[in-house]
Amino acid sequence: MSVLADLHIHSTASDGQYTPSEIVALAKEKGLHAIALTDHDTLSGLAEALEAGKAQGLRVIPGVEFSTDDYLNLHILGYGFPLDDPGLVKLTTGLKAGRDDRKYRIAGFLHNHGVDVPLSEVEEAATGGVIGRPHFAQVMLRHGIVATRKEAFDRYLDTPEFQEIERGTKPLAEECVKAVKAAGGKVSLAHPYQVVLGQDKLEDLVKRLAACGLDAIECYYPQHTQEQTAEYLRLAKKYGLHVTGGSDFHGEKNKPDNLLTAWELELDWFSK
């Protein structure tokens, strides 16, 4: 049986606009049956989300989205694990510390490019304590350094030169997949169109990750073309993987083209 679900959502626990409880209310309003909260590298919003789901009568699946080192924008979605799993707690605690170091690297990079942003404001913007590039973009916008958040990424935070300072700082995809599997959870490959590698390489990647426990591919995503979706469905079928869908909702202010979406998904495999 299929349900209306959105399995890729960010809250104020990372770089989203809304709190976990607000997201549950918005999803209810939209008529969704299930959501997964998948904040970047953190589990800190999940307890509130699960609580709100119970109170408001919405199925909430605990989730997380890991940024990995293998390729640019290769992100791994983990689902359905216990919040206190020691392996995942250890991994996310380490990633939080990594982001705390990274903020100085980012500030230094910006300084070298003639841009000085007050770190205290960036820290304040990250209300959940997990600092990401969008928080820098927000402060740069406020100070008139850029006219849009997108400009902050295009000119500074997502240039090849910026990507150089990120190299070697994130866990490998395989490590993330294994950590979620060891916690008894499920794993999906996030927004495959964003992974910066060629066509044959994507299939190689799916094959490699499937061999270490990948369960699904996020075939449905707002920016996927029909052709891309068809290709990802083909890959899922070929490698015996399930299909997930997510909007990557960060709030309309933060990411206006990625709004909560009622994807029709088969989720029975989640409870197996």
Query: Rounded distance, CA 241 to CA 14, Å?
Result: 28
Query: Rounded distance, CA 8 to CA 260, Å?
Result: 9
Q: Does residue number 132 form part of the binding site for ligand AMP (CB under 6 A)?
A: yes
Size of the site for Zn ion (CB under 5 A): 2
The residue whose Cβ lies closest to Zn ion is 248
Kindly tell me which of 18 and 153 has the beta carbon lying closer to ligand AMP: 153
Residue 67 interacting entry, from Zn ion, Fe ion, ligand AMP, none, C-beta within 5 to 8 Å by type: ligand AMP
Q: Which stretch binds Zn ion (CB under 5 A): 121-129, 141-149, 176-184, 243-251?
A: 243-251
Is the CB of residue 56 less than 8 Å from the CB of residue 28? yes
Q: Does residue number 63 form part of the binding site for ligand AMP (CB under 6 A)?
A: no
Q: Does residue number 170 form part of the binding site for ligand AMP (CB under 6 A)?
A: no
Q: Which stretch binds Fe ion (CB under 5 A): 19-27, 89-97, 189-197, 229-237?
A: 189-197
Element (H, E) at 217: strand 216-220
Query: Rounded distance, CA 266 to CA 272, Å?
Result: 13
- Please report, for residues 41, 225, 267, the alpha-carbon distance to residue 68 in angstroms, rounded to integers and kept in the order given: 10, 24, 26
Which parts of 64-93 interact with Zn ion (CB under 5 A)? Answer: 65
Q: Does residue number 150 form part of the binding site for ligand AMP (CB under 6 A)?
A: yes
Query: Rounded distance, CA 25 to CA 245, Å?
Result: 20
Residue 224 interacting entry, from Fe ion, ligand AMP, Zn ion, none, C-beta within 5 to 8 Å by type: none
Which of 19, 42, 44, 67: binder of ligand AMP (CB under 6 A)? 67
Q: For the sheet containing 2-9, what is the strand order? A: 242-245, 216-220, 186-189, 75-79, 59-67, 34-37, 2-9, 263-266
Secondary structure E strands in the chain: 2-9, 34-37, 59-67, 75-79, 186-189, 216-220, 242-245, 263-266
CB 134, min distance to ligand AMP, A? 5
Which residue matches tokens 């293998």? 70
Query: Rounded distance, CA 37 to CA 20, Å?
Result: 8
Query: Rounded distance, CA 11 to CA 156, Å?
Result: 24
Residue 103 interacting entry, from ligand AMP, Zn ion, Fe ion, none, C-beta within 5 to 8 Å by type: none
Which of 22, 158, 175, 203: binder of ligand AMP (CB under 6 A)? 158
Q: Which stretch binds ligand AMP (CB under 6 A): 25-33, 49-57, 150-158, 214-222?
A: 150-158
Query: Rounded distance, CA 250 to CA 229, Å?
Result: 22
Q: Does residue number 123 form part of the binding site for ligand AMP (CB under 6 A)?
A: no
**Per-residue tokens: 260:** 């909560």
Q: Which stretch binds Fe ion (CB under 5 A): 72-80, 94-102, 148-156, 235-243?
A: 72-80
Give the residues lining the site for ligand AMP (CB under 6 A): 15, 40, 67, 132-134, 149-150, 153, 158, 250, 255
Give the residues lining the site for Fe ion (CB under 5 A): 15, 75, 190
Give the residues lining the site for Zn ion (CB under 5 A): 65, 248
